[in-house]
Amino acid sequence: MGRLPRIVVIGGGTGLSVMLRGLKQQPLDITAIVTVADDGGSSGILREELQMPPPGDIRSVLAALADAEPLLAEMLSYRFNNGKGLAGHSLGNLIIAAMTDISGDFVTGIRELSRVLAVRGRVLPAANQAIVLKAEMSDGSVVVGESSIPKAGGAIKRVFIEPPDVDPLPEAVGAIEQADAILMGPGSLYTSIIPNLLVPKLAEAIVNSDAIKIFVCNVMTQPGETDDYSVSNHLDAIQAHIGHPIFDYVIVNDGEIPEQVHSMYAEKGSKAVLVDMDEVTRRGYKVIADTLVLFRTYLRHDASKLSQHIYQLVTDWVQRKG
């Protein structure tokens, strides 16, 4: 080809960052498009006080893709525990806020910080403004705010954004149009993944792209978002919001989860996502199943193993396209 395969990774939250740590070890040209709907914690405070898009998910992705000294990446994630006004803030969020102020623009600030951190790839917000995420629950009530939705305690019927006609970042649309592969997940389905698909022109670019499209399903359900969800439920929710079945491949964990891990997660109202293989294949998706989990303090995807599967799918696709 004479160039690296171009992959666009869309989402937000911890799951995305874990996966990107693995993907940056592969010979891929990576663009991460990150949600700007967060309104909780440090991000929410900076968003409200400085009238800027929330920096938290962007910070996590920058740290994951940084080739800078490990200590520098650790500093980005450092959270102050004490200090009036400082407690709860992440240093990385404050640095992004400062870079936004210095450069006069959120996107330019991220670009400059990416250069300082020797980020492997590009990190782009889905839009250059904060988005308000709302959820219509199954009982007809509406919950306002990304951080409030999982706490509402009901079943989510749909999520939507304000303003509904927000423009995506032109660079994000361009990256999708030039992509060889588009990857979504893992991450919070309704608050990290789907919000990006509610940006109209972004969704349109994804649907129209001839790239291979891959969904990495969560290993565990998320209380207040995906209680009792199977793999096919995740896919149905995305299709309901975008109006089309968009994925070619679905990557799932079929490895055993130790009983003590099940018990630990059950205390928080979470359990393993049911891998309903027959339903997923009946809907026309191709499935890659493997043991893809690691357990340390929390259950996480095995970033190295997952990235190998993704790289293989992408390179095979590029070769077939010629």
Q: What is the pLDDT of residues 14-46, one digit of tens each?
A: 889 999 999 999 999 999 999 999 998 999 999
Contacts with 33 (C-beta within 8 Å, 6 or more apart), sequence order: 8, 9, 10, 124, 125, 126, 169, 172, 175, 176, 196, 202
Contacts with 183 (C-beta within 8 Å, 6 or more apart), sequence order: 7, 8, 9, 10, 213, 214, 215, 216, 310
Asked whether residue 157 carries a pLDDT value surpassing 60, the answer given is: yes
Going along the chain from its start, the domains and CATH numbers come out as 6-35+160-321 (3.40.50.10680), 39-125 (no CATH)
- Determine the Cα–Cα distance for residues 215 and 213; give it in Å rounded to an integer: 7
Global pTM reads 0.95
- Determine the Cα–Cα distance for residues 227 and 191; give it in Å rounded to an integer: 14
- Determine the Cα–Cα distance for residues 10 and 23; give it in Å rounded to an integer: 13
- Determine the Cα–Cα distance for residues 186 and 206; give it in Å rounded to an integer: 17
- Closest CA relative to residue 110, chosen from 73, 38, 59, 70: 59
**Contact present, 30 and 121 (Cβ < 8 Å):** yes
Q: In 49-74, which positions are buried (b, 16+ CB within 10 angstroms) versus exposed (e)?
A: eeebbbbbbbbbbbbbbbeeeeeebe
For the chain, give the percent of residues with pLDDT over 90: 84
* Residue recorded with tokens 């999708």: 176
Q: How confident is the model at residue 68 (pLDDT cuts 50, 70, 90)?
A: confident
Question: Sign of the C-alpha dihedral, residues 62, 68, 74, 78?
Answer: negative
Asked whether residue 112 carries a pLDDT value surpassing 80, the answer given is: yes
- Closest CA relative to residue 149, chosen from 157, 71, 242: 157
Structure tokens at 289: 């199943």
SS3 147: coil
Q: Which amino acid is at 233?
A: N
Can you give the pLDDT at residue 1? 55
For residue 32, the tally of other CB atoms under 10 A from its CB is 31
Q: How confident is the model at residue 322 (pLDDT cuts 50, 70, 90)?
A: confident
SS3 155: coil
Asked whether residue 274 carries a pLDDT value surpassing 60, the answer given is: yes
Least confident of 64-73, 149-158, 205-214, 266-275: 64-73
Note the pLDDT tens digit of each residue in 204-262. 999 999 999 999 999 999 999 999 999 999 999 999 999 989 999 999 999 999 899 99
73 vs 113: which has the higher pLDDT: 113
- Determine the Cα–Cα distance for residues 218 and 224; give it in Å rounded to an integer: 15
Structure tokens at 215: 């969904």
CA distances from 173 to 114, 120, 179, 216, 264 (A): 20, 20, 10, 21, 41
Asked whether residue 108 carries a pLDDT value surpassing 90, the answer given is: yes
Cis peptide before 163 (omega within 30 of 0): yes
214's enclosing H/E stretch is strand 212-216
Note the pLDDT tens digit of each residue in 77-93. 899 998 888 988 999 99
